[in-house]
Amino acid sequence: MPNYVDSPEYRYFVNKAKALTNIDLENYKPWQIQRRLTFIMEQAGTADYMEYADILASDEAKLTQFVNWVTINVSEFYRDTNKFRELREIILPPLLERNRRLKIWSAGCSNGAEPYTTALILEDMTPGVNHEIIGTDLDSRILKTAREARYLERDVKNVPKHLFQRFFTQDGETYVLSDEIKKRVNLKKHDLLKDIYDSDFDLILCRNVVIYFTNEAKDNIYSRFWASLKDGGVLFVGGAESILNAKELGFKVLAPFFYAKVPDTGGLDVRKAS
């Protein structure tokens, strides 16, 4: 295990960060948090945990930077294009055969690119159908960005041309998503570790969100996702987040990073995903 130094100074920082942001760093892998903290503390001009905690308490801009850093607010449309192709071609068709109107949750949705990508895919597959798509994030600041739905060129570079031309409007150096797609997604603040989970989802996307969490925190989240999915519903995780104990948690692997809730697969043809 990488080096991790516990100390009264680090304890002070953890407690202060929780009081300021309601983010509990105890749920994150401590050696990774400390390694990454070294960099962000250097940017703030300190190498002292207690001093950095006090800086966060007095500097709103640095507090925002810290929250964004912890919650990893980096996203783009069709992030990992091959996986979203598999979502469209392999995962969604059997789900749509079972339910014409899907209920979908993008957990840790950051700037909204992920749930909006899902809305674009479904509009292309099922024109005019008003699927229930929920996007949640811990950070209220990034949710404001998601509601504005204004993106840089690098954020939208993977959007298929026919969808880009139809649903985005250029405004200076940014590209604004149409209200037609924005209204398909309901954005909410939500803490995966503390808040109640909704239920009866056909699909949950939680990608590049729990990568720095402890194994105990991950298992807790995945177990709650399992309970929130319909039988045969699918969990879609990030490229660095394979669930090694998927079977023990009640999931069947459909394809790399796609997991179906068992025992009832709800008619999903897993052979298509092999």
Q: What is the DSSP letter of 98?
A: H
- List the chain domain ranges: 8-71, 81-273
Q: How far apart are CA 69 and CA 146, in angstroms?
A: 17
pLDDT in tens, 216-262: 999 999 999 999 999 999 999 987 788 989 999 999 999 989 999 98
Distances from the Cα of 244 to the Cα of 132, 198, 225, 247, 257, angstroms: 30, 25, 16, 8, 10
- Calculate mean pLDDT across residues 101-118: 96
pLDDT in tens, 128-176: 999 999 999 988 888 999 999 999 999 999 999 999 999 999 999 999 9
Cis peptide before 263 (omega within 30 of 0): yes
Domain 81-273 has CATH 3.40.50.150: yes
Radius of gyration of the chain (CA): 20
Report helix, strand or coil for 213. Answer: strand
pTM, entire model? 0.77
Give the pLDDT band of residue 30 (cuts 50, 70, 90): confident
Strands of 201-206's sheet in order across: 185-189, 132-137, 103-107, 201-206, 229-237, 258-261, 251-255
Cβ count within 10 A of residue 87: 23
Give the pLDDT band of residue 1 (cuts 50, 70, 90): very low
pLDDT in tens, 166-207: 999 999 999 999 999 999 999 999 999 999 999 999 999 999
Q: Label residues 210-247 b or e (16+ Cβ within 10 Å = b).
A: bbbbeeebbbbbbebbbebbbebbbbbbbeebebeebe
Q: How far apart are CA 88 and CA 106, in angstroms?
A: 16
**Percent of the chain as helix, strand, coil, to the nearest 5:** 50, 20, 35
Torsional class of 264: left (φ above 0), alpha (ψ -120 to 50), beta (otherwise): beta
Closest-CA residue to 202 (of 98, 78, 82, 85): 98
Average pLDDT, the chain: 88
pLDDT at position 160: 96
